[in-house]
C-alpha cells in the first residue's frame, strides 16, 4: 500500500515549530514562478524557517518548470501532492506530447499544456540528441519526485493537505483520491475532521468558499466550524493566483506559528488569448 505521509518531513516541520521558527503554508502556485519568488522574498525566511507548498505547483501559469526547480533545490521547502501533480505523473512524457491520448489531452486542457511548454522552452537551446536526452531524463526525474510526494502531513496542531478529508472516513483510512480531489463533502462538514488539528488546504479557490460575497474573493477562507481550542477547523489557502485580469489574483501564505497571513498580487501578466489559442491549436 502506498505511503501517504512522510514522517521525516513531519518531524522536521514540528521541530521547527517547537523551536519557535516559522512554518509557512502556501496555496496553489499553478506555475506562476515569478509570483512565488516574490512571495518567498516577502516572507524573509531564515535558514531555520520552512515553507510547505500545498500542491498544484504546476499547470496554467507560464513557468511550472522553474517552480519545480525551486521546490526541489531549496531544503527549506516541502511539498504535498496535488491533483495536478497526479495528472502530470500519469500523462507527461515526450511520447504523449507528440501523440497524446485522451487522458493526456484532458491534462493539457486543464493547464498541462503550459507545463509541457515550460519544459520545452527550458531545453530549446540544447543541442540535438543530447538536449532531447536531457529533457527526457529531467521529465522522468521530476515525475518520480512528484509521485513520491506525501499526500498529507500531520503535525501536533495541523493537517496540511491539498484538497481535504472525507468526513465519513476515519483520518487513518483516507485514500489519495480524497486527499487530492475532494471538495464539497469536506467543506460542508458540520464537525471538525480532527478535534486537535486545523486542516490547511488548497485545491478549491476561496472565491467558491465565499458564496455571494464577491468582495471577499482573494481572501483566505476560515471554516465557521471551530475546534475546542477556538481555532477554525479548516483554512482554505487557494486564493486563485490564476484569476483573470481585473479579478483578485493572489498567492497567499499562512504562518503556522503566529497565524499571520501574507499575500502578494500575481506579478505575471494575464495572457488569456495566448493560453486559449495554444489549447485550441493543440
In a domain, 96, yes or no: yes
| Residues above pLDDT 70, as percent of the chain | 92
233-250 mean pLDDT: 91
In a domain, 92, yes or no: yes
In a domain, 104, yes or no: yes
Give the pLDDT of residue 276: 41
In a domain, 2, yes or no: no
Set of cell numbers at residue 221? 477562507
> Which tens digits make up the pLDDT trace of 179-226?
999 999 999 999 999 999 999 999 999 998 987 667 788 899 999 999
Contact between 186 and 163 (Cβ < 8 Å): yes
Using DSSP bridges, classify how beta strands 50-53 and 23-26 pair: parallel, antiparallel or unpaired.
parallel
Range of the domain at 190: 7-281
> Which tens digits make up the pLDDT trace of 123-147?
886 666 557 889 999 999 999 999 9
Set of cell numbers at residue 168? 465519513
Confidence at 22, pLDDT banded by 50, 70, 90: very high
In a domain, 268, yes or no: yes
Domain count, the chain: 1
In a domain, 1, yes or no: no
Q: What is the CATH number of the domain that holds 268?
A: 3.60.21.10
Give the pLDDT of residue 131: 73
- The alpha helices in the chain, defined as continuous H runs, are 7-18, 33-43, 64-73, 83-91, 94-98, 102-107, 113-122, 128-147, 176-181, 184-187, 272-281
Confidence at 280, pLDDT banded by 50, 70, 90: very low
> For residue 243, with 0-12 CB atoms within 10 Å meaning exposed, 13-18 middle and 19 or more buried, which class applies?
middle
Distance CA 62, CA 187 (A): 30
User: For 21-59, b where at least 16 C-beta lie within 10 A, e where not — what string?
Assistant: bbbbbbbbbbbbbebbbbbbeebebeeebbbbbbbbbbb
Confidence at 282, pLDDT banded by 50, 70, 90: very low
Give the pLDDT of residue 246: 75
Amino acid at each position: 500500500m502506498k505511503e501517504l505521509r512522510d514522517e521525516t518531513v513531519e518531524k522536521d516541520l514540528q521541530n521547527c515549530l517547537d523551536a519557535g521558527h516559522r512554518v509557512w503554508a502556501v496555496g496553489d502556485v499553478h506555475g506562476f514562478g515569478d509570483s512565488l519568488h516574490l512571495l518567498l522574498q516577502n516572507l524573509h525566511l531564515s535558514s531555520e524557517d520552512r515553507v510547505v507548498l500545498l500542491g498544484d505547483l504546476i499547470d496554467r501559469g507560464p513557468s511550472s518548470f522553474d517552480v519545480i526547480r525551486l521546490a526541489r533545490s531549496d531544503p527549506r521547502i516541502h511539498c504535498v501532492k496535488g491533483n495536478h501533480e497526479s495528472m502530470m505523473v500519469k500523462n507527461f512524457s515526450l511520447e504523449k506530447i507528440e501523440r497524446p491520448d485522451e487522458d493526456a489531452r484532458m491534462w493539457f486542457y486543464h493547464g498541462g499544456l503550459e507545463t509541457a511548454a515550460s519544459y520545452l522552452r527550458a531545453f530549446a537551446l540544447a543541442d540535438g540528441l543530447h538536449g532531447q536526452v536531457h529533457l527526457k531524463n529531467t521529465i522522468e526525474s521530476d515525475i518520480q519526485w512528484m509521485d513520491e510526494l506525501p499526500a498529507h502531513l500531520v503535525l501536533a496542531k495541523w493537517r496540511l493537505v491539498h484538497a481535504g478529508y472525507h468526513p465519513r472516513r476515519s483520518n487513518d483510512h483516507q485514500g489519495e483520491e480524497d486527499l487530492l480531489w475532494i471538495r464539497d463533502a469536506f467543506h460542508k462538514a458540520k464537525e471538525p475532521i480532527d478535534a486537535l488539528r486545523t486542516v490547511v488546504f488548497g485545491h478549491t479557490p476561496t472565491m467558491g468558499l465565499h458564496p455571494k460575497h464577491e468582495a471577499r474573493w482573494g481572501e483566505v477562507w476560515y471554516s465557521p466550524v471551530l475546534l475546542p481550542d477556538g481555532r477554525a477547523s479548516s483554512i482554505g489557502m487557494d486564493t486563485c493566483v490564476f484569476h483573470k485580469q481585473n479579478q483578485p489574483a493572489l498567492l497567499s501564505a499562512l504562518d503556522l506559528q503566529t497565524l499571520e497571513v501574507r499575500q502578494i498580487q500575481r506579478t505575471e501578466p494575464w495572457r488569456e488569448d495566448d493560453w486559449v489559442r495554444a489549447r485550441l491549436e493543440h
